[in-house]
Structure 1
Amino acid sequence: MRRFDFSQPDFAQTFAAFADARRETPEDVEAIVRDVLTAVKAEGLAAVLRFARQFDRAEVDESNLRVTEEEIAQGAAACAPEVREAIALAAGRIRAYHERQRPADARFVDETGAELGWRWSPLEAVGVYVPGGRAAYPSTVLMNAVPAAAAGVSRIAMVTPPGKLQPAVLAAAQAAGVTEIWRVGGAQAVAALAYGAGPIKPVDKIVGPGNAFVTAAKRRVYGVVGIDALAGPSEIVVVADGQNRADWIAADLLSQAEHDPAAQSILITDDAAFGAAVAAEIEAQLKTLSTGEAAAQSWRDHGAIIIAPLDEAPALVDRLAPEHVEFAVADPDALAERVRHAGAMFLGRWTPEAIGDYVAGSNHVLPTSRAARFSSGLSLYDFIKRTSIVKCDERAFAALGPATVALAESEGLPAHARSAALRLGQTKS
């Protein structure tokens, strides 16, 4: 854990170096991913099944590749009742939040008489990658699939590594509107969704988190299909004054540290004694967490406590451009209004980031690694597309045609110019 003090003369330099440090996976996976994608593109299902045996040590064939409706129903029914109720609550709130994002179609006539507008329509097919093993979270299914269903996507294909599917994951898939589930993971799953592989038909966009192989594969297939983002390790910044409970803030910081040893948790406070109390509380809580090993490494290698006036907090947050930021202060809105770069903001002492991970309704798929400077979290807009509409009558074309000819000729595109000029000749006759 690093400690920075705004009053020290070297603060700006050392904080800038810390903010710009990259937390990248050191493993070189590009060559493996390239070979996997090439093989699946050329061989289809045969390559997918071969890589399942090679990487997942799983015997999967065409007979058990797809999770059946009966398996989904039985798995969902085996989910604990309180978890099913929580999934239903979360799914409803996520759907309601994202449906409110739906933009309106529009048509209007401008001063020339030309009719202009746009129309929104859903994507046809989306693939949702859901990690297996320790990272098999039902919230991942909900946050990626529910907005797609709310947008009107007709086919939502979920892929997840072979192995036992957790009942909560199946219950979430059922609640989210997933239409098919395939037992395939890793780069080969991304390739199957992008290129198609036997019964797995290609999709238009791939969303969902994954390991370094999945991320590298998504990067490579972009352009063949759309992707949501290239996610990095989780991040949280908590801006807190000394009027908070230290154990609450410590737990908030650890809520991201436990995700991954490369995750980052940062406290900004104007109270040095409170910062020390939070640091002590973190050490105490680490001893009781089942995820303590990963969380401890994250806090040790990437955590920080920054002692600075609260008035400086918005500028520091913008420099970090974090995935999540909490404002646990008396007037959170005043500080939040001054922040430009953050994936999601949580306002007030009673709004821990964890509420956004599950049931608030907003999406927890958010930009990381300072990508909040130029991108947003997953939303309904990721599953719809806009088509422009243009309609001219003779009068409108007469007004717009001459400028079209002039610009086309200036660009050396005579067929463009002729396309307009011929019509202008008709209007003059």
Structure 2
Amino acid sequence: MKIININELNQDFFQYKEFPEIEIVPEVISNIKKYGNKSITEYSKKFGDGDLTEFTVSKAEIDKAFQETPPDIIDNLNIAISNIREFAKAQFSILKNIEIDIDGIKLGHKIIPLNRIGAYVPGGNYPLPSSALMSIIPAKIAGVEEVIVCSPKIQPITITACKLAGADKIFRIGGVQAIAAMAYGTETIPKVDKIVGPGNKFVTAAKKEVYGICGIDFLAGPSEVMILADETANPEFIAADLLAQAEHDKEAEVCLITTSKELAEKVNKKIEQFLAKLETSDIAGISIQEGIIILVDNMTQAIDIANKKAPEHLEICFDKADTFIDKFKNYGSLFIGNYSAEVFGDYCSGTNHILPTNGIARYTGGLSVFDFVKIQSFQQISKQTAQSKLCATASKIAQLEGLYAHKLSSDLRSEN
């Protein structure tokens, strides 16, 4: 990784990266909207997902996958599930229906879960069963009635994860065609209220295209990690954590910010050592080479950079780091101290790993139970309260805005 001083840091480092328009995406979506299953079959074959004759993963297939999953794998999945579920329950517990009375005006809101959501789970050669857990569990805790999963070339381990997490239906389709099918519905795949989950640039482009027809979580780009560290940090841990993100994607963004040049050099040496033996070095080696180490004078400078960048994963590994957490405002998920490895958040600590990238942590957090509910307000006003408290005010404001049917609506109630 290239080592630079803070005064060499280019402002491009903070720039939002526009998602490119992919010409074929609107075409695929349009055809699936028109022709349904027929187009899914055609595009699945065209894009290398095989000759699909049956989209639905049957109960027999689900049971078979579960039975063939080694017990130790099931045990470890259940540990992750338990932690994810407990954290989701704790989050959900803060959501309450409310009702108040303001001089006879009864106001309130209700927490209403979405009816049906679609979870996209990447598949293929490197299945991500953990993403199934992260999408399905908070939706179920939030009270979503039906959770469907779409995953291409779905592997038995992913099917097992879906079953354990509580998915209601599983479909073996992926890519743009899966997003379109969930957004519009087909003969087999039901239309959903919201689509969540990570995916490649085609999936992201498709989610952008169907937003409005249904909801989405957010548009996520390549994975990111930023680590803030001083001389007390462990260079082996840091090197491994940087590589853990680098191996996701050739375009993954990795960054270390430190007050110690000695630490920076040690990290680079450890990266070289680990890469020499890493099975995913063909991917990790490319993205790690594009990563940077920024030397700063103090942690205040490091914190300023972090807040401006708003990284997906933010690790803070410096002396008394836990006393600084309130100074960090923008991040997808925060990992505090040398043993709070980002990999634990990826798999099993309990927080969600579906997180905002590309700086959008400035205005949103990661996937959670809050993404699967609507907070909907209501009001109930008696005749006496309307006439004594509201009619005159509403009528006057309506007249000021030049909306005379509004004024009429209020005035009629003041007289009758």
Match of 2:140 among 145, 149, 155: 149
For residues 140-189 of structure 1, the C-alpha deviation after alignment (integer angstroms, 9 at most, x for no partner) is 0000111001111111110111x3x3232112101111000111111111
The equivalent residue for 2:254 is 265
Displacement, 1:311?
3.0
Displacement, 1:254?
0.9
Map 1:350-429 to 2 at 5 A: 350-398=339-387, 399-426=389-416
The equivalent residue for 1:134 is 125
Match of 1:30 among 12, 16, 22: 22
Displacement, 1:412?
2.5
CA distance 1:77–1:150, change in 2 (3 Å): same
The equivalent residue for 1:52 is 44
For residues 48 and 92 of structure 1, the distance between their equivalents in structure 2, rounded to whole angstroms, comes to 35
For residues 57 and 249 of structure 1, the distance between their equivalents in structure 2, rounded to whole angstroms, comes to 37
Checking the alignment, whether the CA contact within 8 Å between 1:311 and 1:335 is kept in structure 2 is: no
Match of 2:264 among 275, 287, 292: 275
Displacement, 1:21?
7.0
Checking the alignment, whether the CA contact within 8 Å between 1:48 and 1:197 is kept in structure 2 is: no
Alignment-mate amino acid for residue 31 of structure 1: E
Residue aligned with 2:251, SS: coil
Displacement, 1:387?
1.1
The equivalent residue for 2:114 is 123
The equivalent residue for 1:242 is 231
Match of 2:276 among 287, 290, 304: 287
Map 1:114-263 to 2 at 5 A: 114-161=105-152, 163=153, 165-263=154-252
Checking the alignment, whether the CA contact within 8 Å between 1:41 and 1:191 is kept in structure 2 is: yes
Displacement, 1:223?
0.4
Q: Identity over aligned residues, as a percent?
A: 36
CA distance 1:2–1:396, change in 2 (3 Å): farther
Checking the alignment, whether the CA contact within 8 Å between 2:260 and 2:295 is kept in structure 1 is: no
For residues 73 and 362 of structure 1, the distance between their equivalents in structure 2, rounded to whole angstroms, comes to 28
Task: Mark the runs of 5 or more structure 2 residues left unpaired by the alignment.
Answer: none
For residues 139 and 314 of structure 1, the distance between their equivalents in structure 2, rounded to whole angstroms, comes to 30
The equivalent residue for 1:340 is 329
Alignment-mate amino acid for residue 17 of structure 1: D
The TM-score with structure 1 as length reference comes to 0.93
The TM-score with structure 2 as length reference comes to 0.96
Residue aligned with 2:315, SS: strand
Displacement, 1:220?
0.7
Displacement, 1:383?
0.3
The equivalent residue for 2:58 is 68
For residues 373 and 155 of structure 1, the distance between their equivalents in structure 2, rounded to whole angstroms, comes to 31
For residues 139 and 44 of structure 1, the distance between their equivalents in structure 2, rounded to whole angstroms, comes to 29
Checking the alignment, whether the CA contact within 8 Å between 2:56 and 2:169 is kept in structure 1 is: yes
Map 1:68-107 to 2 at 5 A: 68-102=58-92, 103-107=95-99
CA RMSD of aligned residues (A): 1.5
Alignment-mate amino acid for residue 185 of structure 2: G
For residues 197 and 41 of structure 1, the distance between their equivalents in structure 2, rounded to whole angstroms, comes to 8
Count of paired positions = 413
